[in-house]
Amino acid sequence: MTTVIKNGTIVTADLTYKADVLVEGGRIAKIGQGLSGDKVLDATGCYVMPGGIDPHTHLEMPFMGTYSADDFDSGTRAALAGGTTMVIDFALPAPGQGLLDALSMWHNKSTRAHCDYSYHMAITWWSEQVFDEMKEVVDRGITSFKHFMAYKGALMVNDDELFASFRRCAELGALPMVHAENGDVVAELSARLLAEGNRGPEAHAYSRPPQVEGEATNRAIMIADMAGVPLYVVHTSCEESHEAIRRARMQGKRVYGEPLIQHLTLDESEYFNADWDHAARRVMSPPFRSKQHQDSLWAGLSAGSLQVVATDHCAFTTDQKRFGKGDFTKIPNGTGGLEDRLPMLWTHGVNTGRITMNEFVAVTSTNVAKIMGMYPRKGAVLEGADADLVVWDPQAEKTISASRQQSAIDYNVFEGQKVKGLPRFTLTRGHVAVTEGAMSSKEGHGEFIAREPNGPVNRALSQWKELTAPRPVERSGIPASGV
């Protein structure tokens, strides 16, 4: 059984051209003119692009006394509905729990996935066991490690642990990632705000000003540089953090920044809404920022100082958000976005001229595949690559509404937004999962994708570090060891 996508224009991170795509056995078998197959998908007027890859999701994650409401079933359905064909979720060991133990828990949850997936492993505590198990984790194809510099008393790790883990990542050819917020300062500011009677969701934003993010981003960059390892900064939300990344890159440091579609399109005014539920539903860390910060993020995408757009999809129902009535520090942190990332970015990025179509593909798919060690199996329209494809109709329109979404929660932070540019078809390894909004995805179709460590950037960086490593000066008549 073969499928052919006919009459479309292929759009990749670096090329735009007219060709048909033949799919066989879950892979792209041929790209060319006048191809035929058993089943024909008409792509007239559409762009054929690599399916989106969301490098930042939290499906069924235990967090702040509850579990995020979208699991690998509803979460990956939402992904496919919006043209995303792969997610990278965070396996999160409880402090004291082994990494391999957490990994088998995540493997159990993900058996329901409708699209392919991978994990990042979180380092939530430090010990010889963690050090040892990091190698096994990498051997099993999980090549990125996440560190929380916030959530004091829960997931946060300190600088000594960061440095030890970053050095271990350097040895293993893995990529460290950080949630960059100064958790000590956030804890102080939160306690003070509560004591002063600031208990509503708006205080969440006051407790996490851009400075806490800028400081932590800069600190993580310097620690990574000393460890000789690249660094990936998740949910970059403000100019202070972007500035640190931009500066580091100009100095030749290998640092990546990931804005979220929420931070690009929603601002801090949401927290001042008179409706408590409205504001609490938008509580996430870092919080939404002002328009100036949004402009900085958009500029970073077009300038290339920021490389990826993600969602940090971590959805909680209104009832779950209400755990924090009377105390903003108890509102579960997180927002959804999996189904909306591509249409929102196309509408606010490509349709406005802020980014090109090719840049759209780069930041939603190809750059992720390259940075995360799975290119060109994923993130490419090439013969031999997985047939994770989206046939994108730039004329199709809709108004975002929770009443029609795949996500399990009862609202959508983008409710009422009009988007132009939607999937006509989404294919996951050749299987047509979406046709103009109608779902035909299959629970359990998704497979775990093992990723490669020691990518070109890790190799180049370790070579440079080796060349410039401290060496004793040879002095005549004096042994090199000293005096």
178, 244 in Cβ contact below 8 A?
no
Whichever of 328 and 425 has its CB closer to ligand URP, that residue is 328
3-state secondary structure at position 192: helix
Beta strands in 25-143 (DSSP E): 27-32, 39-42, 47-50, 52-57, 62-63, 66-67, 84-91, 116-122
Instruction: Give 377-442 as a DSSP string.
Output: TSS--STTSB--EEEEEEEEEEE--GGG-SSSSS--TTTT-EEEEEEEEEEETTEEEEETTEE---
373, 453 in Cβ contact below 8 A?
yes
Phi, psi angle pair for 188, to nearest 5°: -65, -50
From the list ligand URP, Zn ion, none, partner contacted by residue 21 (C-beta under 5 to 8 A by kind): none
From the list Zn ion, ligand URP, none, partner contacted by residue 451 (C-beta under 5 to 8 A by kind): none
Burial of 465 (0-12, 13-18, 19+ CB in 10 A): middle
Residue of 8, 183, 300, 334 that binds ligand URP (CB under 6 A)? 334
Burial of 161 (0-12, 13-18, 19+ CB in 10 A): middle
Q: Could you give the CA distance from residue 226 to residue 38 in angstroms, rounded to a whole number?
A: 56
91, 142 in Cβ contact below 8 A?
yes
DSSP 8-state secondary structure symbol assigned to residue 374:
-
Whichever of 46 and 372 has its CB closer to ligand URP, that residue is 372
From the list Zn ion, ligand URP, none, partner contacted by residue 253 (C-beta under 5 to 8 A by kind): none
Residues from 96 through 115 that contact ligand URP (CB under 6 A): none
Least CB distance from residue 153 to ligand URP, whole Å? Answer: 15
Least CB distance from residue 398 to Zn ion, whole Å? Answer: 26
Whichever of 73 and 213 has its CB closer to ligand URP, that residue is 213
Residues from 248 through 287 that contact ligand URP (CB under 6 A): 284-285
From the list ligand URP, Zn ion, none, partner contacted by residue 333 (C-beta under 5 to 8 A by kind): ligand URP
Least CB distance from residue 218 to Zn ion, whole Å? Answer: 17
Does 289 sit near ligand URP (CB under 6 A)? no
Burial of 476 (0-12, 13-18, 19+ CB in 10 A): exposed
Beta strands in 205-323 (DSSP E): 231-233, 255-257
| Residue with nearest beta carbon to ligand URP | 333
The number of C-alpha atoms within 13 Å of 220 and in the hemisphere containing its C-beta is 35
Least CB distance from residue 356 to ligand URP, whole Å? Answer: 29
From the list ligand URP, Zn ion, none, partner contacted by residue 183 (C-beta under 5 to 8 A by kind): none
Least CB distance from residue 150 to Zn ion, whole Å? Answer: 7
From the list Zn ion, ligand URP, none, partner contacted by residue 27 (C-beta under 5 to 8 A by kind): none
Cα angle for residues 309, 314, 316 (degrees, 5° grid): 145
CB neighbours (10 Å) of residue 455? 20
From the list Zn ion, ligand URP, none, partner contacted by residue 334 (C-beta under 5 to 8 A by kind): ligand URP
3-state secondary structure at position 235: coil
Count of residues that interact with ligand URP, criterion CB under 6 A: 8
Least CB distance from residue 333 to ligand URP, whole Å? Answer: 3
Sign of the alpha-carbon dihedral angle for 355, 361, 365, 368: negative
Q: Could you give the CA distance from residue 178 to residue 149 in angstroms, rounded to a whole number?
A: 7
Two tokens, residue 263: 């931070």
Whichever of 109 and 350 has its CB closer to Zn ion, that residue is 109
Least CB distance from residue 18 to Zn ion, whole Å? Answer: 28
Residues from 125 through 154 that contact ligand URP (CB under 6 A): none
Sign of the alpha-carbon dihedral angle for 270, 272, 273, 277: positive
Does 58 sit near ligand URP (CB under 6 A)? yes
CB neighbours (10 Å) of residue 181? 30
> Where on the chain is the footprint of Zn ion (CB under 5 A)?
179, 312, 431, 445
3-state secondary structure at position 369: helix
From the list ligand URP, Zn ion, none, partner contacted by residue 281 (C-beta under 5 to 8 A by kind): none
Whichever of 362 and 387 has its CB closer to Zn ion, that residue is 387
Residue of 312, 339, 386, 388 that binds ligand URP (CB under 6 A)? 312
Whichever of 334 and 446 has its CB closer to ligand URP, that residue is 334
Give me the 169-188 binding string for ligand URP, x by CB under 6 A, dash otherwise. Answer: ----------x---------
Whichever of 82 and 430 has its CB closer to Zn ion, that residue is 430
Least CB distance from residue 192 to ligand URP, whole Å? Answer: 21
The CA dihedral of 244, 246, 251, 257, to the nearest 10 degrees, is 80
308, 345 in Cβ contact below 8 A?
no
Whichever of 225 and 386 has its CB closer to Zn ion, that residue is 386
Does 314 sit near ligand URP (CB under 6 A)? yes
From the list Zn ion, ligand URP, none, partner contacted by residue 284 (C-beta under 5 to 8 A by kind): ligand URP
From the list ligand URP, Zn ion, none, partner contacted by residue 431 (C-beta under 5 to 8 A by kind): Zn ion
From the list Zn ion, ligand URP, none, partner contacted by residue 247 (C-beta under 5 to 8 A by kind): none
From the list ligand URP, Zn ion, none, partner contacted by residue 278 (C-beta under 5 to 8 A by kind): none
Query: Residues in the site for ligand URP, rule: CB under 6 A?
Result: 58, 179, 284-285, 312, 314, 333-334
